[in-house]
Every structure is written in structure tokens, then in C-alpha cells.
Structure 1
């Protein structure tokens, strides 16, 4: 007959029970160590792309070249502001939509990475111009 201790557990423990508890404790401890490793590992910085759409209305008696120079100036400011505002930003895409007489047409797009912009902060260099925009906007 087994003798019970104060809390109701037998004072004599079978070897199979000890092995099972030892294995459970070892597995639980290794899981806790793995979980601690995951939790304490710093998260990798995630870089991302910002997309900006700018709308630019034609001024009175403004020709297309002047309109385009204004578009490039605001694009330069938008790209620089995007990189200055967020240090994790790796790439910016700016689309400038021109407006004239109720029509809205994309006139240019600049897609540039932070490193490219640092080397050459010129929107004309990185821009893609839409050739049909002046005709479609009735310039």
C-alpha cells in the first residue's frame, strides 16, 4: 500500500512518471527558450514605397513649357519632403496630373529611390513625360 504525503501525493514515485515529467519539462523549457529568442530579436526595418499624386491646374495664358516647369518644381519638393519625412522610405513615385478646361491627364511621373535622389536630386533626370498630354489638355 502506498503512503500519501500531506498533499495527497504518493511518497514513492515510479520511474516512468519521472521520465515523463523530465521529458515534459525539457520540451517546455526548450519551447520557452525558442519563444524568448523570437521575442527578444529586434524586428527588421521594413522599407517601403510612397506613391504621391499631385494635381496642377493651368494658369491663365500659361503655355505648356511653363506648366511643365511648374510641375517639375512641385515634384522636386514632393520627393524631397517624402524622403525627409520618413527615414524608412526607400522609393517615391510621384504622378503629376495636369488640369485644363475640366480635363485631367497625367503629364509626368517620377520614380526614384533614396540613393538615386541623394546622388542626383533632379526631377527632369528621373521623369517620364507623357507625350500626348499637351494635345489632350488642349495646349
Structure 2
């Protein structure tokens, strides 16, 4: 494995699916395992938010460098745009990433990076580290 930095990266990971699939094998295998791995191995501090509501996200963005939103849980796209605009206005230095397999022009200018599945843990780590550089 290549060298990696030991800088602490503070991430808010907002995913409504955590509520509905908290005991789901699929979710635990994908993001739950990845989050535990990053916290232990790479000094990432990841706060899991089981909501994609604008008020919840805004309340939890303080002191975060990165916000990752599972945008598949926010419909319609205008609602996602409203959330992202509020985040960028209140926390202009936060980097916003969408966990998605689709890109939408309505929010393109508000997104700093995308997490497109499937990907390896090493690829995800690189995406998150590059987001704050």
C-alpha cells in the first residue's frame, strides 16, 4: 500500500438509507465497513448522519472539512440543490461530495467531487484526501 498522510480529516456522511437499512448486510459491507476502516487506519473522523434534511445537515456541518451526501435519497433535484446552496452559503470552505452514479447539471456548480460506485477503498480514500487539498 502506498504511503498516506496521517492528517485528520473531519467528514459528515449524510445518508437517509442508514435509517431504513441499519442492519442491512449490503450497507454494512459497503459504507459501514469503509467508514470503520478509514477511522481506524487513516485517522479520518467520520460523523454518520442518518438524515438528509437541510436542517440536520446544516446543524452538523460545523468543524467538518467534507460533506458527503447520498443524493439518491434526496428527490427531486431541486431539494438537493436547496440543501447544497444552504451548505455552501453557511460553510463556504466545506468540500461537498455526492455519493451517486449520476451527475445532474442543476447541482454541478455546488459539488466538489463525486463518489461513483463501485470503487475500492483505496480509491475512496484518495478521493476524500484530494477533496481537501
TM-score (norm 1): 0.24
Q: Which has the higher strand share?
A: 1
TM-score (norm 2): 0.25
Higher relative contact order (CA 8 A, sep 6+): 2
